[in-house]
Amino acid sequence: MKEWWVQVGLLSVPLLAVYLHIPPPKLSPALLSWRSSGAYFTFKDQNIFYRDSIGAVGSSDIVILLHGFPTSSYDWCKIWEGLTQRFHRVIALDFVGFGFSDKPRPHRYSIFEQASIVEGLVRHLGLRHQKINLLSHDYGDTVAQELLHRSLQPLMFWLLFEAVHGRRRFHLRLAAEAYIALQAISRLCSTWRHRPLRNNRFLFSILQYINQRKKHRDRWVGALMSASVPLHLIYGPLDPVNPHPEFLQLYKKVLPTSTVSVLDDHISHYPQLEDPTGFLNAYLNFINSF
């Protein structure tokens, strides 16, 4: 009898071959509508997708939304209309490698590049001298931290979900985040134009942001600790990436001047999708307090 690993290997090869040739799923009507309502700008020969909606009359406030991993600007779909009722302009982009933006291969994906893309979008839209509010989630939090380190002006308000990375908890966080990411990939890759996640090199290149967080922890957490702009955290207690209550205790210890909104006990890592009303109310209460 052949060794078990030989049998598994012989079975895996044809299954992998079939999987690699499965066509990508068709976009849903909602995603088609999302794409059709957006536009593209060019950043270093890469086409970057973004949405820019004109909202509340009489308001001059602008909010830029930074999505997480492994998703896209569509993460904000459930609160988009609510934001347009408060802000004059609501803007979101797909980072390079995500959503409807280009996915170059081979490519060294980095948080630094994504922050530069946000700066490029601000220039493209002629907003360099405007007050900008940032609303970020997950991967986008680290991009926001890099922007804060660069002192993008006049940056005013921040909302962060997972901003603090304690050294002792890093390996636990990495394992939990990888688990969330791999689970989410199967559900959310339909938002991607190609099939990038079937290329291991592409996936590992994108996932380097986890190592970048560890390498540049002092730079990015330090940017939060020295920030002169208001900070706010909206937190779902069931979030496996940022376990309760340890994460909240660490956050308050590192950033004692930041305000915090804790949502209902059943809310997890995607509060803007799981509880859009509670999330939106928490964010607007923070914004309207100034």
Q: Which amino acid is at 240?
A: P
Which domain CATH number covers 33?
3.40.50.1820
Could you tell me if residue 57 is inside a domain?
yes
The residue among 107 and 158 whose pLDDT is bigger is: 107
Domain count, the chain: 1
Could you tell me if residue 216 is inside a domain?
yes
Give me the pLDDT at residue 201, please.
75
User: Is 0.85 surpassed by the pTM of this model?
Assistant: no
Give me the pLDDT at residue 26, please.
86
pLDDT confidence tier of residue 174, bands split at 50, 70 and 90:
very low
Percent of the chain with pLDDT over 70: 76
* Dihedral of the alpha carbons of 159, 193, 18, 2, in degrees to the nearest 10: -30
- 133 CB-near residues (< 8 Å, 6+ apart): 61, 62, 63, 64, 87, 156, 157, 158, 287
Mean pLDDT of 151-170: 45
Give me the pLDDT at residue 10, please.
60
Give me the pLDDT at residue 157, please.
43
* Coil/strand/helix, residue 155: strand
Please say if the pLDDT value at position 254 is more than 70. yes
- 139 CB-near residues (< 8 Å, 6+ apart): 66, 67, 68, 69, 95, 209
Could you tell me if residue 138 is inside a domain?
yes
Could you tell me if residue 19 is inside a domain?
no
* Coil/strand/helix, residue 116: helix
Instruction: Return the bridge partners of 133, or none.
Output: 63, 157
Distances in Å between the alpha carbon of 158 and those of 237, 267, 272, 283? 20, 21, 15, 10
Could you tell me if residue 20 is inside a domain?
no
- 7 CB-near residues (< 8 Å, 6+ apart): none
pLDDT (tens digit per residue) in 100-116? 999 998 899 999 999 99
Phi-psi region of 58 (alpha: psi -120 to 50; beta: other; left: phi over 0): left
Give me the pLDDT at residue 177, please.
40
Percent of the chain with pLDDT over 90: 62
Residue-range definition of the domain harbouring residue 244: 28-288
pLDDT (tens digit per residue) in 178-215? 334 443 433 333 344 444 444 567 778 888 999 999 99
Q: Which of 46, 125, 140 is nearest to 90 (CA)?
A: 125
Could you tell me if residue 4 is inside a domain?
no
Could you tell me if residue 7 is inside a domain?
no
pLDDT confidence tier of residue 60, bands split at 50, 70 and 90:
confident
pLDDT confidence tier of residue 228, bands split at 50, 70 and 90:
confident
**Residue whose token pair is 């408060």:** 86
